[in-house]
Amino acid sequence: MIFILLAGVFGALATFYLNNTLQLGGIMASAGISVIAGGFFYLFPELLNPFLSVNVPLVIMGSSFIGMATSRVIKQYWIIALSGVFFSGIFLLSSLFFEGYGGSLGTIAAISLGAAYAMRPFKKIVLSLNR
């Protein structure tokens, strides 16, 4: 499960970086991350157990949709990272329900980014409690 969570954070952050810092654009950044992840686990499926070899590329691809967000709207990397964690959790919990439905990865990515973005005000509250 930890590996799935890390894959979600990696996919979102790597795509966001390629999209906004290196100016590759959202589609190229997401496609590049997805092809590399999918190709790696296609060529080396025995590195991890079968569950992870199948699901890690899906999580990286789905969380890469989060990284397609523009830095004009989402300025903080922690929101993208938290969205990746949310994506991974929702993916694990809902993979049985969304089986066979097109657009499930994009839907989960949108829900995850919206939930993390909505948590921005709570960051200020938590930080003020620690002082």
Q: Give the predicted TM-score (pTM) of the model.
A: 0.88
Distance CA 107, CA 5 (A): 18
CB atoms under 10 Å from CB of 105, counted, come to 19
- The mean per-residue pLDDT over the stretch 95-116 comes to 81
The pLDDT score that the predictor gives to residue 103 is: 79
- For residue 105, CA distances in Å to 65, 66, 114 come to 8, 10, 14
Is there a contact between 60 and 7 (Cβ–Cβ < 8 Å)?
yes
Determine what percent of the chain is predicted with pLDDT higher than 70. 94
The tally of domains found in the chain comes to 1
Q: Report which of residues 96 and 45 the model is more confident about.
A: 45
Query: Which domain does 33 fall in, by range?
Result: 2-129
The number of helix segments (H) and strand segments (E) in the chain equals 6, 0
Which range is least confidently modeled, 9-23, 95-109, 114-128? 95-109
Tens of pLDDT, residues 2-61: 999 999 999 999 999 999 999 999 999 999 999 999 999 999 999 999 999 999 999 999
Is there a contact between 74 and 117 (Cβ–Cβ < 8 Å)?
yes
Q: Report which of residues 120 and 77 the model is more confident about.
A: 77
